[in-house]
Structure 1
Amino acid sequence: MTHDELMTAPAVGAAAAVRPRARLIDVATAAGVSPKTVSRVINDEAGVLPGTRDRVLQTVRALGFVPDRSARELKRRAADTIGILIDAISDPFFAAFVSVVEELAVADGLNVIFASTGYDPARERTQLDRLTGHRLAGLIVAPVAMPASTLAGLGARFPVVTIDRVRAGIDAVVIDDFGAAAEATSALIAHGHRRVAFMGEDVPYPTVSDRLAGYRSALEAAGIPFDPSLVVTHERFRSGEAAEASPLLERDDAPTALLCATSLAAIATVRAIRARGLAMPALVSFGDFTLAEVLEPGITYVDHDPRLLGAAAFRRLRERAARPDEAPARIVVPTRLVPRGSGEVAPSLPLDPIGATR
């Protein structure tokens, strides 16, 4: 053996020892099948013809293919996280909603992650991308500007349920906003009020507009003309301000009753009334809030219970996971009007010229 041969022989042996590890694609190419078929064979799954299975196994042995166990375990690991995308965790309604979904998810061995949109379509897109970067077992979303097509695309990957707002072809859990607002307005009218104001919010979805429509319907049914000057929509309700509430209540023809279309609107309105030392009119809040029952009088509210909505949304999410081909459902959660005193306040009687009430 020459000197060159002595030098080359170990090198050749080393090269053979470090032969590249066979990949799944190498097995598929050598066996003349798809990578998916190879995956089914090595995972002992059904759906492969016996002859094809034998050929793949022979190729696996011939190439010395060894499956990557860590990759297999990662693939097999079930998605175990529920994503929730809401308007704002500072909203008492959504805070309670998330708490209920989390409780149910944990009991089912699942994790929960949530994000908020802040009512902003651009932020909604960013937060959606962040959530869907995880291995989700399902997504619950209160959409702001998100189209049905986006949700349908996500629905091909995991179950999707909307809450509070509807998108065509997507499971939804909602309340009857129109009917609940009509009921609350009718209750105020039944207590003798003829000037009922609507304290809403300027939001980019139909929840509040449906409640406004219910309010108007109740006025019409009672033969009370609609007065647009008694309708307040104000974005700053979200930050606890109600700049338009005080001037409304200080008018000579001030309303004697208020329907607050959200709990945030109610909080801001009550704050404005107290700050100006105004007499408390009859008031109904659409949704409960912390300490509402300890105010004097306690705040009457439309109970669209976030616990019921949360339970219904989670249940529908799990049903969709079990039956992915089932037609989408629109689940309407019932509401009720809970009297606490503020909604039952009678209108003040005006004084006649000599000071006697009429």
Structure 2
Amino acid sequence: MADRASIKDVAARAGVSFKTVSRVVNGVDTVLPELRARVEAAVVELDYVPNSAARSLKSGAGNAIGIVVDSIDDVFFASLVREIEDRALELGLAVIVGSTGFDPDRERDQLMRLAGQHVRGIILAPVGDHGDFLLPRKSTLPVVTVDRSVPGFDSVTVDDYAAATDAVERLVAAGHRSIALVGLDERLQTARRRRDAFVDTLARHGITAQERFMPEVAHHADAVRPVVDALLTQPDPPTALFVSNARHATSVVSVLHELDRTDVAMISFGSFGLAEAVAPSITCIDQDPRHIGALAFERLVARFDDPDGQAVDLRADTRLIARASDTLPVAGGTA
């Protein structure tokens, strides 16, 4: 069965923007007759059926939503934002994107700015807990969180603990007993859950997680090199790395190649562009940010009609993409 035509298909066939198509199918009378005719013809030709979610959008509210994430150049959040933007455009909604830089104060400023611009709702990757600001506005400013949660609000997350457990189990099964965690940031729920899984999994195998193998790492790319270098130059260096986010994993791969230490086993929590292309190819836990973005957007649209309903916590699936990097034998250190 062929895929149903989307608003993108109609816009391309008619040679107009997404917004023009949205205005025509929603009965807005400010579209030029010529453009309206082209859109209507394309709708008939493609048998286009408007997204039923659009019917839940109330009139009289703002026509934009806000997205606040850690960094817009992060591979995970870049894909997530793109998916949300695509879906918002289909409903005639604009998107305003802001970043926190992992700074709770900056995050609060972004939330205040979006509230002042009367956005219809916000999709947020929280760094701090701003319930004191968000809860009093819940009826007029719906919020859905992604990757992490804020009490009282809808969230879309993954099972960080279970996925990280599977990753560490694979490294232990390959014979590694000196395993380091790269990417710890105590401020973030995700990082803490992945750290807990790392520690607990090693303990189940009679291995004590060493503090020297769990360094905190700043989030800018330049912070990874000294951390990896310090780990690998220790008297008894790790033979495997569990990297707890894709942003750091990209840098770790680069550093390992520059140091000619591609003998170090590795698993990344999060996939990234070069994971399959490098040698050895990198085993990853794939979170599918576009799926997470889609779920978050659907929840936000649902909240437009039910802003005060009970919070819903959605759990997106992950999958481990097995490649070569986790199967490397113990070498270059103490097993």
**CA–CA distance in structure 2, aligned partners of residues 90 and 240 of structure 1:** 16
CA positional deviation for 1:297: 1.2
Secondary structure of the residue aligned to 1:253 is coil
Q: Greater shift after overlay, 261-270 or 86-95?
A: 261-270
**CA–CA distance in structure 2, aligned partners of residues 256 and 176 of structure 1:** 26
**CA–CA distance in structure 1, aligned partners of residues 59 and 236 of structure 2:** 68
CA positional deviation for 1:315: 1.0
Q: For residue 344 of structure 1, what is the amino acid of its counterpart?
A: T
Q: How has the CA–CA distance of structure 1 residues 324 and 77 changed in structure 2, closer, same or farther, with 3 Å as cutoff?
A: closer
Q: How has the CA–CA distance of structure 1 residues 119 and 270 changed in structure 2, closer, same or farther, with 3 Å as cutoff?
A: same
Using CA pairs under 8 Å that are at least 6 residues apart, name the structure with larger relative contact order, 1 or 2.
2
Consecutive unaligned residues of structure 1, counting only runs of 5 or more, are: 1-74, 352-358
CA positional deviation for 1:312: 1.0
**CA–CA distance in structure 1, aligned partners of residues 271 and 112 of structure 2:** 32
Structure label with greater radius of gyration: 1
Is 2:264 aligned against 1:264?
A: no
In the other structure, the counterpart of 1:245 is: 228
In the other structure, the counterpart of 1:94 is: 77
1:257–1:281 contact (8 Å) kept in structure 2: yes
Secondary structure of the residue aligned to 1:278 is coil
1:230-265 CA deviation, whole Å, 9 max, x = no partner? Answer: 112111544463202112123342211110011122
Q: For residue 249 of structure 2, what is the amino acid of its counterpart?
A: A
1:217 to 200, 209, 213: 200
Is 2:189 aligned against 1:230?
A: no
**CA–CA distance in structure 2, aligned partners of residues 176 and 81 of structure 1:** 30
1:283–1:299 contact (8 Å) kept in structure 2: yes
2:241–2:266 contact (8 Å) kept in structure 1: yes
In the other structure, the counterpart of 1:139 is: 122
Q: How has the CA–CA distance of structure 1 residues 309 and 223 changed in structure 2, closer, same or farther, with 3 Å as cutoff?
A: same
Secondary structure of the residue aligned to 1:233 is coil
In the other structure, the counterpart of 1:125 is: 108
Secondary structure of the residue aligned to 1:312 is helix
Is 2:324 aligned against 1:341?
A: yes
Secondary structure of the residue aligned to 2:194 is helix
CA positional deviation for 1:305: 1.3
2:88 to 105, 110, 115: 105
2:239–2:333 contact (8 Å) kept in structure 1: no
**CA–CA distance in structure 1, aligned partners of residues 181 and 321 of structure 2:** 18
CA positional deviation for 1:79: 2.0
Q: For residue 225 of structure 2, what is the amino acid of its counterpart?
A: A
User: What is the aligned residue count?
Assistant: 277
**CA–CA distance in structure 2, aligned partners of residues 150 and 183 of structure 1:** 37
Consecutive unaligned residues of structure 2, counting only runs of 5 or more, are: 1-57
1:301 to 284, 299, 302: 284
1:265-304 CA deviation, whole Å, 9 max, x = no partner? Answer: 2122222222222233110111111222111111111111
TM-score by length of 2: 0.77
1:176–1:332 contact (8 Å) kept in structure 2: yes
2:263–2:331 contact (8 Å) kept in structure 1: no
Q: How has the CA–CA distance of structure 1 residues 96 and 216 changed in structure 2, closer, same or farther, with 3 Å as cutoff?
A: same
2:146–2:155 contact (8 Å) kept in structure 1: yes
Is 2:259 aligned against 1:284?
A: no
CA positional deviation for 1:340: 1.8
2:265–2:329 contact (8 Å) kept in structure 1: yes
Large movers: runs of 4+ above 6 Å = none
Counterpart mapping for 1:182-197 below 5 A:
182-197=165-180
In the other structure, the counterpart of 1:165 is: 148
**CA–CA distance in structure 2, aligned partners of residues 269 and 203 of structure 1:** 20
**CA–CA distance in structure 1, aligned partners of residues 86 and 185 of structure 2:** 32
Q: For residue 266 of structure 1, what is the amino acid of its counterpart?
A: A
Secondary structure of the residue aligned to 2:200 is helix
In the other structure, the counterpart of 1:206 is: 189
Secondary structure of the residue aligned to 1:157 is coil
Q: How has the CA–CA distance of structure 1 residues 239 and 317 changed in structure 2, closer, same or farther, with 3 Å as cutoff?
A: farther
In the other structure, the counterpart of 2:49 is: none
**CA–CA distance in structure 1, aligned partners of residues 111 and 101 of structure 2:** 13
1:240–1:264 contact (8 Å) kept in structure 2: no
Is 2:315 aligned against 1:332?
A: yes
**CA–CA distance in structure 2, aligned partners of residues 294 and 343 of structure 1:** 15
